[in-house]
Chain A
């Protein structure tokens, strides 16, 4: 049993990473959410806010003063432990960075801060065990174990209890838009603060190796460009292009598959965190429908069937789990699909090891769970919620803290250029740096810290704009669902999906028969019941949130 539990927990990590982080957050470019929105609203309740703020400040100052006095008396500062994951486990320089942060926070907040950084492989297990056993962890990222899992297990504290957020996290309230806070509420209770990043995605970005396009004589300039500067075209155009590159490079496989047609290739909203019951037109309707019977999915399957028949897809597509870009890098594959965002072309070219051209075939979209995929939470067992809240605020709002957490120590890990961007410190690189977590997208607020050389200095504003301008936003933004009562159905559905989906999504079987098989299995596994339960929860949520 221990082994089973262990495998399950370990694997849950992979899954949540995928589901939670992989699909929604699009790291390189991201946001300072406050800008556009708060300026408008702030003006309105200026006076009220001002009055409130003085009161807040008083309480917060008082708490800090009390802690400093206590530290004076005992000679030791209270410690707040902050946990998140990186790719290599506790960095070599962790003690030095902790000391640097604490030096600063002793002054500003009257606490020591300890970063407890665990590698991605173990974080999900470790954090759950620590939260279950009462070890000291005060603040933690839910990227890994998953936000809903943490909330359902009762790990997270109510951040608004006794005016905690209002009185001690005023800076957070200014920084994060109110509707993004709402997106993180579960059953009306706020358990987490979302990291400041990009929440919208540009769906269905087909990336094709530029050399193959040139070799096949495809004239990319003939197409129009979209807002992000990518080639705007239709699926018919893509079919044409694939036919051409296939003809020009018959030895290479055209399309590198990945099971992302819904997550990255459609605006279907997987409300409640799974695709068993979805919103097909989430911007306008709150009707829960079966996506596997929808036109969108049928189109995708038909497309893949066509591509497979034409020989664009590898015979091992169903078994080979190598990442799409890794296969393109080998030079035997030519195209893949991902989702776009500002400055994506450079990133995908890097990943694929060759210049890639990005074709924008989809539309921008922000799903219901985009904001709440992995907020930062406070342990319900934390001894001093006030201090923890104040440290959380510092992580989001204090540039000194943000820089130390994101980049390490100035002059050692990084140096600042004239234009305020930063680069490696003398003799340091990604391999030998003593502090380089490289999880910027998970950080509370990466835009409070410096921008890396090469990225636009205003990347925060760009990303905020990208979020704010996203025209297709799910009406269910902020809906979360605990499917614990339907775990039996969920497990059966998941098994049924994995049993029958592979063939049809990679086009190894005629969509007519394949989809029927898949849907029959799903209904037999209890899809109807599951969808009805989801719909009921959604309706209730909509009613209480005043959405219709």
Chain B
């Protein structure tokens, strides 16, 4: 079909442009992370730096806490967190997608309300540290804030409402399937795209989070996740260089810390795994759903 071909060509052109726009600054980030720090400050960021250097990466991997172990924590956290988040979110979203469920409006309202209002940092901290005693444990990275959010629940609920026709569910009930079986054998297979989406969002949330580690991990540095570790390193260097006149000059080697390039190197180190993992998640975004197949 001609119109289809035209559509494909136009799409390619536009997407190539968008991809370039997206990737060019990222390449700048990459090249500047490999640029000599002094050159970076003196000449600014450049795609073709005057002097290349690996020092920023050396610094990250050699200093203080182990980045490798932090990667481990991040991977476990992201895997466990994503799985839990996906389960909880899906179950709640499915419940409020049921049009006849008594109390549906109230529950939905509670979900939306939770997106708008928040008790604030100190009260939240008190709940998790004093009441639940999660401080300095792995759970403190997993649970606060990230496990489920109203946005994802609403997103999923909207998908359930719009993309899973009532007729299919009714057909399942007719066959004598209970709620649980209907959910597992009809709803879940039909919801792969949205489940992949929520898994991706939750996973990105866990991977990028540094706030939980920042607040709840004060003693066990071995529980630092990558983003937490990198953020701390970055801010510590920043403070260190700002208040450098306070530091024992003779023995810290302050001038050896390549702040400008380290910043970029850290950002690169932080997103690298996503580039590796993303293709595996992606296969769920590629194929559409055919209702006929499920019905039969």
Residue pair A330, B38 in contact (C-beta under 8 Å) = yes
Within the complex, the shortest CB–CB distance from A208 to chain B, in Å, comes to 17
Residue from the set B64, B236, B248 with the largest chain A CB neighbour count within 10 Å = B248
Residue pairs across A and B with Cβ atoms less than 8 A apart, 15 shown, are A2-B118, A2-B124, A9-B121, A17-B243, A22-B246, A27-B245, A27-B246, A121-B239, A122-B232, A126-B218, A133-B126, A135-B130, A323-B242, A327-B41, A351-B244
The A-B contact count (CB < 8 A) is 158
Contact of B242 among A2, A22, A440 (CB under 8 A): A22
| List of B residues within 8 angstroms of A420 by Cβ | none
Residue pair A132, B122 in contact (C-beta under 8 Å) = yes
| List of B residues within 8 angstroms of A6 by Cβ | 121, 211
Name which of B179-187, B252-260, B282-290 contacts chain A: B252-260
The 5 closest A-B pairs by CB, nearest first: A121-B235, A330-B38, A332-B42, A27-B246, A330-B42
Bound CA span A28–B41, Å? 27
Residue pair B259, A326 in contact (C-beta under 8 Å) = yes
B residues with CB within 8 A of A: 37-39, 41-42, 62-65, 117-118, 120-122, 124-126, 129-130, 135, 145, 211, 214-215, 218-221, 224, 231-232, 234-236, 238-255, 259-260
Within the complex, the shortest CB–CB distance from B228 to chain A, in Å, comes to 9
Within the complex, the shortest CB–CB distance from A154 to chain B, in Å, comes to 13
Residue ID in chain A nearest B229 by CB atoms: A89
Bound CA span A440–B174, Å? 76
| List of B residues within 8 angstroms of A27 by Cβ | 245-248
| List of A residues within 8 angstroms of B259 by Cβ | 322, 326
Q: Is A134 among interface residues, defined by CB-CB distance under 8 A?
A: yes
Bound CA span A329–B215, Å? 35
Q: Is A441 among interface residues, defined by CB-CB distance under 8 A?
A: yes
Q: Is A426 among interface residues, defined by CB-CB distance under 8 A?
A: no
| List of B residues within 8 angstroms of A116 by Cβ | 218-219
Q: Is A189 among interface residues, defined by CB-CB distance under 8 A?
A: no
| List of A residues within 8 angstroms of B249 by Cβ | 28, 346-347, 350-351
Residue pair B236, A121 in contact (C-beta under 8 Å) = yes
Q: Is A338 among interface residues, defined by CB-CB distance under 8 A?
A: yes
| List of B residues within 8 angstroms of A88 by Cβ | 63-65, 236
| List of A residues within 8 angstroms of B117 by Cβ | 1
Residue pair A126, B246 in contact (C-beta under 8 Å) = no
Q: Interface readout for A268-280 with B: 1 if CB under 8 Å, 0 if not?
A: 0000000000000
Residue pair B120, A2 in contact (C-beta under 8 Å) = yes
| List of B residues within 8 angstroms of A25 by Cβ | 246
Bound CA span A121–B38, Å? 24
Task: Given A121-B236, A125-B214, decide whether A326 and B221 contact each other with a Cβ distance below 8 A.
Answer: no
| List of B residues within 8 angstroms of A332 by Cβ | 41-42
Residue ID in chain A nearest B125 by CB atoms: A129
Q: Is A14 among interface residues, defined by CB-CB distance under 8 A?
A: yes
| List of B residues within 8 angstroms of A455 by Cβ | 250
Q: Is A47 among interface residues, defined by CB-CB distance under 8 A?
A: no
Bound CA span A350–B121, Å? 41
Within the complex, the shortest CB–CB distance from A457 to chain B, in Å, comes to 15
Bound CA span A172–B230, Å? 40
| List of B residues within 8 angstroms of A453 by Cβ | 250
Contact of B246 among A121, A134, A439 (CB under 8 A): A439
Q: Is A431 among interface residues, defined by CB-CB distance under 8 A?
A: yes
Task: Given A87-B240, A90-B219, decide whether A21 and B42 contact each other with a Cβ distance below 8 A.
Answer: no
| List of B residues within 8 angstroms of A21 by Cβ | 243, 246
Within the complex, the shortest CB–CB distance from B124 to chain A, in Å, comes to 6
Within the complex, the shortest CB–CB distance from B55 to chain A, in Å, comes to 14
| List of B residues within 8 angstroms of A431 by Cβ | 62-63
| List of B residues within 8 angstroms of A322 by Cβ | 41, 259-260
- Chain A contacts with B in 505-523, Cβ cutoff 8 A: none
Bound CA span A125–B217, Å? 12
Residue pair A22, B121 in contact (C-beta under 8 Å) = no
Residue ID in chain A nearest B240 by CB atoms: A87
Q: Is A353 among interface residues, defined by CB-CB distance under 8 A?
A: yes
Task: Given A2-B118, A2-B124, decide whether A18 and B250 contact each other with a Cβ distance below 8 A.
Answer: no
Q: Is A78 among interface residues, defined by CB-CB distance under 8 A?
A: no
Residue ID in chain A nearest B244 by CB atoms: A351
Residue from the set B124, B224, B249 with the largest chain A CB neighbour count within 10 Å = B249
Task: Given A126-B215, A350-B254, decide whether A18 and B248 contact each other with a Cβ distance below 8 A.
Answer: no
Within the complex, the shortest CB–CB distance from B20 to chain A, in Å, comes to 26
Task: Given A26-B245, A440-B248, decide whether A1 and B63 contact each other with a Cβ distance below 8 A.
Answer: no
